[in-house]
Amino acid sequence: MELSAFPRFLFTVFDRFTVLALFFTVFALALDFMKRRKKCQNYPPGPWGLPFVGNILQVDLSNPHLSFTKLWKKYGNVVSLQFGWRNTVILNGFETLKEALVKKSEDFADRPDFQIYQHLLKLVGEGIVFAKYGHWWREQRRFSLTTLRNFGLGKKSLDLRIIKEAGFLNKELESAKGLPFDPHFKINNATSNIICSIVFGERFEYRDEKFLEFLHIVGESFVLEGGFWGQVKDNPRTSFLESNLLGVVIDLFSAGSETTSTTLRWSLLFMMLHPDLQSKVHEEIDRVVGKERKPALEDREEMPYTNAVIHETQRLGNIAPISLPHQTFRDTEVMGYTIPKGTMVIPNLTSTMFDEKVWSTPHQFNPGHFLSAEGRFEKPEAFIPFSAGHRVCLGEQLAKTELFLFFTSMLQHFTFHLPENELKPKYTEAKYGITLRPLPYRLCAKLR
């Protein structure tokens, strides 16, 4: 090749390269546009997303509930987002959640496909929590609730098991001898032992290394699954397969232990930060239960203040800030907006827990939110910590029973206070996963 022809050759190569690069860029942007364009009229409003990634960079993935709440204030009760090419709708405000999850429960009863869930389902079977909506899910949920009732849910026998376990927990707290300690795994052991007594027929010691490792794995899975980056019969239609049993058992542990344990940890933190309110709980326990008799679930009706403290813990602790993602089972509408089948839907429970129209002091720990002027316990309709509708938490009744009996038993025996020379924990800081967990803290438990 002559030297004079070499510049023309380079120009031709670079020119072709530029054309190809331009072609592929336009093609990719056109594909992205087709993937992300709204597929129906009257679709909910939302911020404009970037090519390929959508709105993922506009959401704080470590605290998505806070980002969703800001979007609620700007765009209204129904907000559309895109994570990559996945169309997503955020539901805010109690009336919106009520219309979607209760009045049109089946329309919003499906679950989206996430790679991390699919990997887990292959390992342990479908379970209940992440299963797609349909015959399989209805059959397993009905069976699980029936089995729980047969093993004592809602009966005195299970209440006695919880009271007995509360005694073991109190011994563990007493073993600290008033010195500072982190209550995390002591409480987690206690709540998990209730599920163990149902599923395995026995409990585990609080220092059992294998059991502690299992609880650690369950806790970490809540963080991983909550992150956006990780997303026996000869009958072919039956869901009663041995391969699925493990999935159901793991779901029971997750729904019946981790959330309850997290709530109890929040409760002790709030009691430590509000000694005056802790004293009021002590007074009510002493008056109704006394110092010798063990608390019973029947005492709850006579203990409105203690009941209000537990509910306020659930509200301000905001245990499940955005619940679990739903998916529309069919084309539907909510608050006048059209949402196509297969759209991922996130119920922003945070929007109901901190709604200034419902709660007089939404960002403060105030048991008065659940007390009438006469001091009677009353629960606002907007209080839905267990979500609502078809996908309401499977372990709601068990959790309510455990929360009252464990909390009342601990407060009957101990006064909880901040260790000397340690900074006061900030309840406004928490670790987000599927649940919102308080950051590690230490307290002292003094026998009353």
Tell me the one-letter amino acid at 423.
L
The H-or-E segment that residue 165 falls in is: helix 156-174
In terms of Cβ atoms closer than 10 Å to its own Cβ (0-12, 13-18, 19+), residue 432 is buried
pLDDT at residue 38, rounded to an integer: 60
Q: Which residues contact 429 (CB under 8 A, 6 or more apart)?
A: 439
Q: How far apart are CA 384 and CA 433, in angstroms?
A: 19
Q: How far apart are CA 49 and CA 115, in angstroms?
A: 23
Helix intervals (H) in 254-320? 259-273, 275-288, 304-317
Torsion of CA 190, 191, 195, 201, to 10 degrees: 20
Residues facing residue 377 across a β-bridge: 371
**For strand 344-347 and strand 326-327, is the pairing parallel, antiparallel, or unpaired?**
antiparallel
Tens-of-pLDDT digits for all 448 residues of the chain?
454 555 555 456 556 666 556 555 555 555 555 555 566 789 999 998 888 788 988 899 889 999 999 999 999 999 999 988 889 999 999 999 999 999 999 999 999 886 555 555 555 556 677 788 888 888 888 888 887 787 777 778 889 999 999 999 999 999 999 999 999 989 989 998 888 888 777 787 777 777 677 666 666 655 555 554 444 374 445 444 555 666 666 667 666 678 899 999 999 999 999 999 999 999 999 999 999 899 999 999 999 999 999 999 999 999 999 988 999 999 999 999 999 999 999 999 999 999 999 999 999 999 999 999 999 999 999 999 999 999 998 888 889 999 999 999 999 999 999 999 888 888 888 888 778 999 999 999 999 9
Q: Tell me the CATH architecture of domain 125-320+350-383+393-447.
A: Orthogonal Bundle (1.10)
Classify residue 390 by its DSSP letter: G
Count of residues in the chain? 448
In terms of Cβ atoms closer than 10 Å to its own Cβ (0-12, 13-18, 19+), residue 100 is buried
- Per-position b or e across 401-424, b if 16+ CB within 10 A of its CB: bbbbbbbbbbbbbbbbbbeeeeee
DSSP annotation string for 205-252: -TT-HHHHHHHHHHHHHHHHHHSGGG---S-TT----HHHHHHHHHHH
The pTM of the full predicted model, rounded to 2 decimals, is 0.84
Q: How far apart are CA 97 and CA 335, in angstroms?
A: 10
